[in-house]
């Protein structure tokens, strides 16, 4: 949903994501990043229902995989502080 590259002195706060189609926050080469008061919502039950409906629930080697989007933040860099998130 969000991809940040080579950012410095970044604050991410008070955001809610719901059922991201791929990832929630993917961050590369971050310097001095703070993330706070972020709420990431993933309805795993609904994802399972959709996969089962389309006969895709058991695929692992191919796409899609289950469950998806259960990772909230995928950060890489220095001085990263993530707090008060759900």
Question: pLDDT 10s digit of each residue in the chain, 86 long?
Answer: 899 999 999 999 999 988 776 678 999 999 999 999 999 988 877 777 777 787 766 655 555 555 555 668 889 999 999 999 99
pLDDT, position 35: 97
DSSP H or E run through 27: strand 25-36
What is the pTM for the complete model shown? 0.73
pLDDT, position 37: 98
pLDDT, position 77: 96
pLDDT, position 29: 97
pLDDT, position 67: 59
pLDDT, position 24: 86
Those residues whose C-beta lies under 8 Å from the C-beta of residue 27, and which sit 6 or more positions away, are 3, 4, 5, 7, 33, 73, 74, 75, 76, 77, 80
Identify which of 5, 43, 30 has the alpha carbon closest to the alpha carbon of residue 82. Answer: 30
64 cis-preceded (ω within 30 degrees of 0): yes
């Amino acid at each position: 949903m969000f991809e940040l590259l080579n950012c410095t002195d970044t604050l991410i706060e008070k955001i809610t994501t719901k059922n991201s189609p791929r990832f929630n926050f993917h961050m590369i080469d971050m310097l001095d990043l703070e993330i706070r008061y972020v709420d990431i919502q993933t309805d795993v039950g609904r994802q399972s229902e959709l996969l089962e409906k389309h006969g895709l629930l058991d695929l692992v080697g191919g796409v899609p995989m289950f469950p998806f989007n259960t990772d909230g933040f995928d950060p890489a860099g220095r001085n990263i502080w993530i707090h008060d998130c759900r």
